[in-house]
Structures are given as C-alpha cells and as structure tokens.
Amino acid sequence: MVQTRGAAKGHEQNKQHVPENEDQDHKVKPRAGKGKTSDKTPGEDDKTFTIPFGDKQITCERRGEETRPSLIFTHGAGGDISTPATSELASGFAEVATIILFNGSMNVKNRVKAFGTVADHHGFEDALGGRSMGARAACMAAVEEGRKTKALVLVSFPLVADKNKESREQVLLDLPAGTDVLFISGTKDSMCDLEHLQIVTEKMKARVWVVRVKDADHGMSWSYKDKDSIRMMRQTTGTIAAEWLQERDARTRYKSVHWEAETETLHCSGWSVSSDESDITQANKVEKPGEDEAPPAAKKRKRGKA
C-alpha cells in the first residue's frame, strides 16, 4: 500500500482504526508549501493560545481544521515550535488532521509535566509525540500513572546521549503492550543508529512502525543542494504520521522516504513487512511544485537549467 499525501487511504485487510542539545536546527523562516496549510509563525493565521502552568504559561499552537486534535506534539531541546524541523512536519500533518504544538523548557522532567497539562486541558491523551528530547518526554508522559495514551509519534528519537553515548532505551522498553509507536528517523542520525533501534524495538512490548528517511540527520536535514527538498521531506513525514494515526496495518511496519537529486523527486515507499531496505520496493513520487506554484528560488533554478 502506497501512502503519500495525495494517496487514497484504505486497503481492506487487517487495518486498525485508532481514534542535551539534541535539536540542531537553525531558526529560519520556512517557505510555504503546497496543501491546505502553510508554515506560519505563531500568531499569523493559525490559532495560538496559552495554558497556565504553575506561575508560567505554556504557548500552544493549533494546526488543522478539526477542533479535537489527533496529536499533541512538542519540539526538541534546542528549539521551539517555530523551528523548521517541527513546524514543517506539523504543516504536513495538518493536511490530514489537527495537531496541537506546545513550547517547553530544555528540562525533560518539566517537559513531561507540560505534556500532562496540555493533555488535561484538551481532554485528549490518545496520541502524544515529539522530536528529539520532545520524543523522550512523550514516552515518559505516556507511562505516567493514570495515562491512557494509545499511540506515540517519535521523530529523531535520541536513542543515545549526544556526549557520552549513554543508551536511552529503557524508556522505550517501559512502554506497555497496548501502545503503538511510530519512529521517524534519518539513516544518518548520529543519536539513533537504525541497526541499534532495530535491536531495541525487537525487545519492546509496544508495537512498532518505522519510517526511515535516507540520508537525513538528527535535525531531519540532508546535504542535497536543493534545500526545498528538506521542507518537502519534513512535510511528507508529517502527513505519513497523520495517516498512520488514522489507520495502520499490524503486518506492514516499515516505510522509507528518499530524495532523488537527478530528477528532483521525493520518493515515499509503501509499508513493508520487512525492515530490509531492499525489500521496500514499491515507491510513489511526491513531485516538486509546478512552475506557477514554485517559490521564487525554485523558479530561478529551473530557468537556469540547460
């Protein structure tokens, strides 16, 4: 089954319907993408609000058309919800469902408490997620006593510490059997070696799905010259996450995303039963925007080609 932002959702077999400086991204204003939503700084057109948090406030942002969220998500240690790696993923997610983003401190225990506050405020704890340190905090929040979290979306999960390389697998092993987990990780993520992750997931009680982004690093970036490809990749992974929350097949748990520089095309495979890259053969293309829709920089590149 191929799942991309334009693909129909639904084959009929065995589907389940389910209602440190670790973040190295630089804060730059992202370019708007194609789809229902675009990347905006909080306060432009998206609904932003604050929630009391002790003697402070948690800044939140809602993206998507539905009032009830499908996911509560937070950023990594070195950024906030406007950081491109978080903001662009949220933009892709909001093409399918509503996501609540929230800002948190660099202290992981404080971030866990913030998860609880935001979840309680919305009366929603079914699906939590985050990138980097935020992913760790989501796991820790999910196993708190009384929580009934059913799904986790973990982007660039920091399986080892940045400095001493200490393993952080225990928080994953603590997740109960009733939890479904989606990992979205780059093949060049220095804090989450995918072979190491495979070993850990085989020991987990929770069910696991993995999206591998070829050549992406911990910040969900890569070195291809076409910088717009990074935005496309991040938005596509956000869309994948939203579709996964809506329906997922327990038999097919591996998907890959990669950029083909020669044709300037983003490829997104279907879900596979195997973690072997060679077995993930069915691909779909997410084409670059057309000439009239492309941002000025993209148009300039096209005109400059021989």
Check residue 134 and give its pLDDT: 98
Give the model's pLDDT for residue 78.
84
Q: pLDDT value at position 278?
A: 55
Residue 126 domain flag: yes
Is 25 contained in some domain? no
Let me know if 117 is exposed, middle or buried by CB neighbors in 10 A (0-12, 13-18, 19+).
Answer: middle
Q: In 250-263, which positions are buried (b, 16+ CB within 10 angstroms) versus exposed (e)?
A: eebbbbbbbbeeee
Predicted local distance difference test score (pLDDT) of residue 197:
96
Vertex 128 angle, CA 123 and 134, to 5°: 125
pTM for the model = 0.80
One pLDDT digit (tens) per residue for the chain, 306 residues: 333 333 333 333 333 433 334 444 333 333 333 333 344 433 334 589 999 999 999 999 999 999 899 999 999 998 999 999 999 999 999 999 999 999 999 999 999 999 999 999 999 999 999 999 999 999 999 999 889 999 999 999 999 987 778 889 999 999 999 999 999 999 999 999 999 999 999 999 999 999 999 999 999 999 998 989 999 999 999 999 999 999 999 999 999 999 999 999 999 999 999 877 655 545 566 656 554 444 333 333 333 333
Domain count, the chain: 1
Predicted confidence at residue 163, as pLDDT, reads 76
Q: Where are the alpha helices (DSSP H) in the chain?
A: 84-93, 108-122, 133-142, 170-173, 194-203, 228-246, 296-303
C-alpha–C-alpha distance, residues 150 and 142, integer Å: 8
Tokens 């400059």 -> residue? 304
Residue 7 belongs to a domain: no
In a domain, 1, yes or no: no
14 assigned to some structural domain: no
The reply to whether 13 falls in a domain is: no
The arrangement of strands across the sheet holding 254-260 comes to 47-53, 56-63, 99-102, 71-74, 127-131, 151-155, 180-186, 207-213, 254-260, 265-269, 283-286
Whether residue 15 lies inside any domain: the answer is: no
What is the reported pLDDT for 284?
A: 60
**CATH, residue 241:** 3.40.50.1820
Residue numbers of the domain that contains 268: 33-303
* Residue 93 in domain: yes
